A and B are shown apart, each in its own frame.
Chain A
């Protein structure tokens, strides 16, 4: 089927399909992703039984798709409870600001984090630089009692800062030339985690 298509088109191969076959490896499928997100929500609940004293903060731009779903799962588990949920953009705190211009996203933390337990939520943990910036940004909002980190994908052995996650969806071993891409329905029309080789 694949070869017949390519012959009809008159090209040696359909480059997009071939590219996907060769270079794209699925790490988590849509159904696996749903189970993982549910587990992350449960683990956060397990460690933070007092929800009134806990705040969840998703990191812009792509961490919020995960945090939206984690918060939804927590709300489903305890209907009626007030889950304090905010979004944080770290653009102005980046350490590579002189190299490249990044466009800022919305920060929305409509409550005080003073003395609270904060769970930072992001999609991929790689060098740790984003989380370093996020910690700086977070402290400008007050002094939290504790900060925890929840990530969907932990790219182990790639860290450039001493930062480790508390909740991990899936830990993977990858090399620098590879890229991990998380696709979200809301943004990319499909839900999947893939490893890309270049």
Chain B
């Protein structure tokens, strides 16, 4: 068994088999991370470059740790301190790096489709670490892995994605993935932050009422308001947003069941999640981060070049 694709550009291109294979391999890597020596020699002969054209802490550290625990050599690149600031194009930058014999590229870029463009022009395997408002496939995979780990499976699970759906690549990757694996998905947020035809396009339920959504779901994946991607006023104030769509302890306690709270980070405490929710035992936010390393190890391992 092998992945059906050479690159990981988005969950959209993966089959259900691919997703199962990645999640199953990630389980074995999670066990590796519990060992006294948390490192395996699998990618000893591979060089990976981490190209981050956009800010990141979690994803970047997670990828770097994953690479190091697979024994790959890593090179880091940040746009702000590079020749991009001098006017070099994306393709030139990457080709220059690749001419130094780099095997795999992990890239985050603020332009949607940047990794897809690169995949058409360079021979190395590309892993999308987030492109604009399009996809963030490894986040989708680690969210699925965490849901599976916490609730025992994906099929038939009711997952609500709450918040800024419009500008969220995490939401898009999650929706593709969960639908492919047979989960039920609903999105919830203010009408201005939910794309108009999302129900028709992606087959998800749409709700503008937080309480209704929380009553329905088993898992709530809460997203950050992406102020950096909004160039017009889409809601009146953060305080108002918090009152209508922020999840509070009181609201969770008033539900008939205990739901799982997830968040891809970084959290804006007091906006989408109150502190006593984010830090409660219902929340698996830190487990998500932990699982991120195992899932990224699986992706790197499965995409590493093979001679036949």
Taking A89-B28, A92-B301, A139-B37 as given, write out 15 further A-B residue pairs in contact, using a Cβ cutoff of 8 Å, ordered by the A residue number: A92-B28, A92-B40, A92-B70, A98-B304, A101-B1, A101-B302, A101-B306, A103-B1, A103-B25, A104-B24, A104-B28, A105-B28, A106-B27, A106-B31, A140-B36
Please, which residues of chain B bring their CB within 8 A of the CB of A93?
40-42
User: Are A99 and B307 in contact, with the CB atoms below 8 A?
Assistant: yes
27 A-B pairs with CB atoms under 8 Å apart are A91-B28, A92-B32, A92-B40, A92-B70, A92-B301, A93-B41, A97-B304, A98-B45, A98-B305, A99-B306, A99-B308, A101-B2, A101-B306, A103-B1, A103-B21, A104-B25, A104-B29, A106-B27, A106-B28, A136-B41, A137-B40, A139-B37, A140-B35, A140-B37, A140-B39, A140-B40, A141-B36
Partner of A100, one of B28, B70, B308: B308
- A contact residues vs B (CB 8 Å cutoff): 89, 91-93, 97-101, 103-108, 136-137, 139-142
By CB atoms of chain A within 10 A, which of B2, B28, B304 has the most?
B28
> In the complex, what distance in Å separates the CA atom of A104 from the CA atom of B40?
13
Please, which residues of chain A bring their CB within 8 A of the CB of B70?
92
- Say how far A96's CB is from chain B's closest CB, in angstroms: 10
Interface residues on B, range: 20 to 34
Please, which residues of chain A bring their CB within 8 A of the CB of B2?
101
Please, which residues of chain B bring their CB within 8 A of the CB of A91?
28
User: Are A142 and B41 in contact, with the CB atoms below 8 A?
Assistant: no
Please, which residues of chain B bring their CB within 8 A of the CB of A103?
1, 21, 24-25
> In the complex, what distance in Å separates the CA atom of A100 from the CA atom of B2?
10
- Say how far A67's CB is from chain B's closest CB, in angstroms: 18
- Say how far B25's CB is from chain A's closest CB, in angstroms: 6
Closest to B298 in A: A104
Closest to B2 in A: A101
Majority DSSP secondary structure for residues of B touching A? loop
- Say how far A90's CB is from chain B's closest CB, in angstroms: 10
- B contact residues vs A (CB 8 Å cutoff): 1-2, 21, 24-25, 27-29, 31-32, 35-37, 39-42, 45, 70, 301-302, 304-308
- Say how far B43's CB is from chain A's closest CB, in angstroms: 8
> In the complex, what distance in Å separates the CA atom of A105 from the CA atom of B29?
10
Closest to B3 in A: A101
Closest to B303 in A: A101
By CB atoms of chain B within 10 A, which of A92, A105, A140, A142 has the most?
A92
> In the complex, what distance in Å separates the CA atom of A91 from the CA atom of B27?
13
Please, which residues of chain A bring their CB within 8 A of the CB of B29?
104
By CB atoms of chain B within 10 A, which of A137, A140, A141 has the most?
A140
User: Are B28 and A142 in contact, with the CB atoms below 8 A?
Assistant: no
- Say how far B305's CB is from chain A's closest CB, in angstroms: 7
User: Are B307 and A97 in contact, with the CB atoms below 8 A?
Assistant: no
Please, which residues of chain A bring their CB within 8 A of the CB of B305?
98
Partner of A107, one of B31, B306, B307: B31
Please, which residues of chain A bring their CB within 8 A of the CB of B25?
103-104
- Say how far B297's CB is from chain A's closest CB, in angstroms: 9
Closest to B43 in A: A97
Please, which residues of chain B bring their CB within 8 A of the CB of A105?
28
- Say how far B293's CB is from chain A's closest CB, in angstroms: 14
- Say how far B304's CB is from chain A's closest CB, in angstroms: 8
Q: Lowest 3 A-B CB distances belong to which pairs?
A: A92-B40, A140-B37, A104-B28
> In the complex, what distance in Å separates the CA atom of A101 from the CA atom of B25?
12
User: Are A98 and B28 in contact, with the CB atoms below 8 A?
Assistant: no
User: Are A98 and B307 in contact, with the CB atoms below 8 A?
Assistant: yes
